[in-house]
Structure formats: C-alpha cells, structure tokens
Amino acid sequence: MHEPHGRPDVSILRGLNALERFEGGVAKLYARLSEAHAQDPEAASLFYKLSLDEKNHASLIQYQRRLIKQNPDLFEALEFDVAAIEMATVYVEGILARRELPGLRDAVALAAGIEGGAAETHFRAALLQAAPEMSRLMRGLGDSDRLHADTLQAFGIRRGFLPPATAAGEARR
C-alpha cells in the first residue's frame, strides 16, 4: 500500500488480515461448539447461527480488503496496534486446539466474552477514522456483534446461567 511520508507503518490491510483471521477462527469455534452441544438443539442452533454470521463477517472483510487493494490512494494508513487482535486470535485458536471444548455454561460465557471483546471494537473505530468510506460495513459488523452478545445473554438468562439483573447490566458495557 502506498504510504506518504510521516504516516504510521501499520496498514489497513494488515489490520483487516488480522481481523479476517480472527473472524474465521471464531466461525470455526462456534461451528465446533454447535457440534459439541448437538444433544441440545437450542444450543446447537445458537452456535451454528453464530458461526454462519462470523463466516459472513470474514467475507465482508475480504470485500473491504479488495476495495482497498484496488484503490490504495483513497485510504489513509491506519494507526492501530494489531497485536490485540492477533492475541485474541491466538486465544481462539488455542481453544480450537483443545480435545474437549467447554461445557454449555462456559461455552456461552466464552462466546459472550468474544462478542464483547475490545480489540475488534477498537480496530473498527480506528478503521472508521482512516477509511470513512467503510463506515456502513464496519457499523454493520459492530451491530451484529452487539446482537450476538444480546442473544447469548438472553440464552444465558433462559438457561439460568445468568440472573436477569446482572445480564442486563453487563450486556451494555
């Protein structure tokens, strides 16, 4: 990517690559959680739907990357520490590498933590500043993550994993 003098050396493409890898890993994790909890149709369906959404997120990020590659001069260099997303990806990949996945209560908590993760949110905010043209796509991804978090919270409440007052307060953080 063309970077005029004085610009940070972390590019939008590097950040998008990291974010795509993260979304892909999360999609795989949710698919495995769906399989691991197949005996519970509601839980299996929840994780399966989340996995499909995460695959779609990765596809949207691929699209964004193509746009930037085709028009590199239209986008500013991105000042963001990609390491946070890379660390989150390593965490997800570590869970995937385990023989046994968490039980349902822990799986819901794990997924809620992933959906509420700060690294992805901060990267999207930085990308919006560097590439305002991406605002609709980035906001759509953020809205989807919030919907995932709300869905996981509602599931946790229905199953008695979370008390309603605690869940409502934490879902909005």
pLDDT of residue 8: 32
Amino acid at 157: I
Q: Is residue 51 part of a domain?
A: yes
Q: State the residue range of the domain holding 123.
A: 12-171
Cα-to-chain-centroid distance, residue 88: 9
pLDDT of residue 173: 43
Q: Is 116 helix (H, G, I), strand (E, B) or coil?
A: coil
Q: Is residue 6 part of a domain?
A: no
Q: Is residue 1 part of a domain?
A: no
Q: Is residue 2 part of a domain?
A: no
As for how many domains the chain has, the answer is 1
Which one-letter DSSP state was computed for residue 72? G
Tens digits of pLDDT across the chain (173 residues): 444 433 333 477 888 888 899 999 999 999 999 999 999 999 999 999 999 999 998 998 898 888 877 877 777 666 677 888 899 999 999 999 999 999 999 999 999 989 888 667 767 776 766 666 666 777 777 788 888 989 999 999 999 987 785 544 444 44
Q: Is residue 77 part of a domain?
A: yes
Confirm if 110 and 95 have CB atoms less than 8 A apart. Answer: yes
Q: Is residue 3 part of a domain?
A: no
Which one-letter DSSP state was computed for residue 101? P
Q: Is residue 5 part of a domain?
A: no
pLDDT of residue 65: 82
The structure's pTM equals 0.81
Amino acid at 86: E
Amino acid at 109: A
Per-residue pLDDT tens digits for 134-158: 667 777 777 888 889 899 999 999 9
* Integer angstrom CA distances of residue 106 from 33, 63, 69, 117, 136: 11, 33, 40, 16, 33
Q: For 28-44, b where at least 16 C-beta lie within 10 A, e where not — what string?
A: bbbbbbbebbeeeeebb
> At 115, which CATH number?
1.20.1260
- The two tokens of residue 66 are 């193509």
Q: Is residue 46 part of a domain?
A: yes
